[in-house]
Amino acid sequence: MGIVRLSISMSLDGYVAGPDQGLEQPLGAGGEKLHEWAVATRTFRALHGGEGGETGVDDERAAAILGGVGATIMGRNMFGPVRGPWAEPAWSGWWGDEPPYRSPVFVLTHHPRAPLTLGRTTFHFVTDGIEAALERARAAAGDADVSIGGGAATARQYLRAGLVDEVELHVAPVLLGAGERLLEDLGDGARDLEAAGIVSSPAAAHVRLARGAA
């Protein structure tokens, strides 16, 4: 069985999304800056059908994020900005006809919905909590890893419950001043995550924490 891992970009002041998230700016005001390190890489461009891109530390970390993942868990806010019961036309995510996941994705929600298949990705909508979603994701992933895709509230729930084995924070040299924080109200669930490595480039510092790393 693989591990449960969280990989997420964060500002220097601790935000993983800026304020005022919505259709026009899904990552909030200034939130795109958190991901500039990844967007510039060869791995990211190849994933989205492009060419070129930078190699080096950032590209290595981008490839590591994608490698070995057999299923992903995300919150409804990451899937889309809609709230309440699903309405027609049903929201189908930010990613178009070929989302970048290409393996099962389990979306936490309070409102039932039939699975949605787009290209090589099927989204399953889970209404019975984080542990049920993780059980289904592990079954789907087999020997591969489960990725906690975000957003901040979903990531905090899994960290607080002590269900994440490895965290990689991609700290961008950006100050957002407001938005969605990641590292707060974690209780005891994250206390045994210990430093397991750090590499950096001018675009980001990549800090890895793992359970029982020492």
Please tell me the predicted confidence (pLDDT) of residue 214.
54
d(CA 156, CA 45): 29
CA 204 to chain centre: 17
User: Chain-wide mean pLDDT for the chain?
Assistant: 93
User: 180-181 and 15-17 as β-strands: parallel, antiparallel, unpaired?
Assistant: antiparallel
Percent of the chain scored above 90 by pLDDT?
A: 72
User: pLDDT tens-digit profile of 25-66?
Assistant: 888 899 999 999 999 999 989 888 888 989 999 999 999 998
Contact 144, 2 (CB under 8 A): yes
Q: Count Cβ atoms within 10 A of the Cβ of residue 204 and give its class: 0-12 exposed, 13-18 middle, 19 or more buried.
A: buried
User: pLDDT tens-digit profile of 161-175?
Assistant: 999 999 999 999 999
In the numeric block, which tokens belong to residue 70? 């057999």
Which stretches of the chain drop beneath a pLDDT of 70?
Answer: 213-214
d(CA 154, CA 152): 6
